[in-house]
């Protein structure tokens, strides 16, 4: 469980991490600058287990994987959003950053709420107001990648064809 950090619709990859910080691939360096322009205190005060609550089209823009890596590196447990931009969705799954789609939770949660998430069932509990929400289930092949902890780990044990068999 952790604190909710709320973000607007169409949060883009430049807002997650501006291009000038993307020269490094060191996770902790990226995490230091995550959301630096739109939530300057985030990187300093975020705690392990906190939750990001986004809106619609979360992570739109560039294909830069630095964006989900920076978020994952900041220690959050997962992202809950109304919907995700296409490349961000793939990138997050591939690097093992849990993402949930739950419009009801997004509409009801306010910044700072205390949130508990069961990643395997998709149940979300708002300890601040006592409300419960159910995230949409991920497609089977996406679950296979997520359960392996990302595509790289999946491929260490499986052939890529096994995603759909």
Partner 1 sequence: MGTLVEEIFSRKAGRLVQAGEIVVMDLDYMMSHDNTTPLAIKAFREIGKPIMDKNKIVIHFDHAYPAPNLLAAEAQKRIVDFMKEQGIMQFYHQGICHQVLIEEGYIQPGRVLIGGDSHSNTYGAFGAFGTGFGSTEIGVAWATGKTWFRTPETILMHLEGQAKPGVFAKDVMLYIAGMLGMDGATYKSVEFTGPYIKDLPMHERIIFANMSTEIGAKCGLIAPDETTIRFLETETKARGPFEMIEAVNPVYERVIEIDVTDFGPQVACHPDVDHVQALEQVQGLPIDEVFIGTCTNGRYEDLEIAAQILKGKRVSPFTRTIVTPASVQIYDKAMRNGLIQIFHDAGCTIGVVGCGACIGRHGGLLGPGERAFTTMNRNFIGRMGSPEAEIYLGSPAAAAATAIAGKITDPRTYLEV
Among 87, 99, 105, 106, binds partner 1 (CB under 8 A): 87
Cβ partners under 8 Å of residue 23, min gap 6 = none
Query: Interface with partner 1 includes 10 (CB under 8 A)?
Result: yes
Nearer to partner 1, 20 or 44 (CB): 20
Query: Interface with partner 1 includes 72 (CB under 8 A)?
Result: no
Query: Interface with partner 1 includes 83 (CB under 8 A)?
Result: yes
Beta strand spans in the chain (E):
2-6, 51-53, 78-81, 99-101, 114-118, 123-126, 132-134
Return the residues of window 97-136 that contact partner 1 according to CB under 8 A. Answer: none
Stretch binding partner 1 (CB under 8 A), from 83-91, 100-108, 113-121, 129-137: 83-91
If one counts every other C-beta atom within 10 angstroms of the C-beta of residue 154, the result is: 20
Minimum CB distance to partner 1, residue 56 (Å)? 6
**Kind and range of the H or E run holding 28:** helix 27-32
Q: Which of 45, 99, 96 is nearest to 74 (CA)?
A: 45
Q: What residues are paired with 58 via a beta bridge? A: 84
- Which parts of this chain interact with partner 1 (CB under 8 A)? 10, 12-15, 18-20, 22-25, 37-38, 56-57, 60-66, 68-69, 83, 85-87, 90-91, 94-95, 139, 141, 150-152, 155-156, 159-161, 163-164
């Amino acid at each position: 469980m952790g604190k909710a950090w709320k973000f607007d619709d169409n949060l883009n990859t430049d807002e997650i991490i501006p291009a000038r910080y993307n020269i490094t691939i060191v996770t902790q360096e990226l995490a230091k600058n995550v959301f630096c322009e739109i939530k300057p205190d985030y990187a300093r005060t975020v705690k392990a287990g906190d939750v990001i609550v986004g809106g619609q089209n979360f992570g739109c823009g560039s294909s830069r994987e630095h964006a989900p890596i920076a978020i994952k590196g900041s220690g959050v447990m997962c992202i809950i959003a109304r919907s995700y931009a296409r490349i961000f969705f793939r990138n997050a799954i591939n690097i093992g950053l849990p993402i949930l789609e739950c419009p009801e939770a997004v509409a009801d949660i306010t910044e700072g709420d205390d949130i508990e998430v069961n990643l395997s069932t998709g149940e979300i509990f708002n300890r601040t107001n006592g409300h419960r929400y159910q995230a949409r289930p991920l497609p089977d092949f996406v679950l296979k990648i997520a359960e392996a902890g990302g595509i790289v780990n999946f491929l260490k044990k499986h052939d890529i064809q096994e995603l759909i068999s």
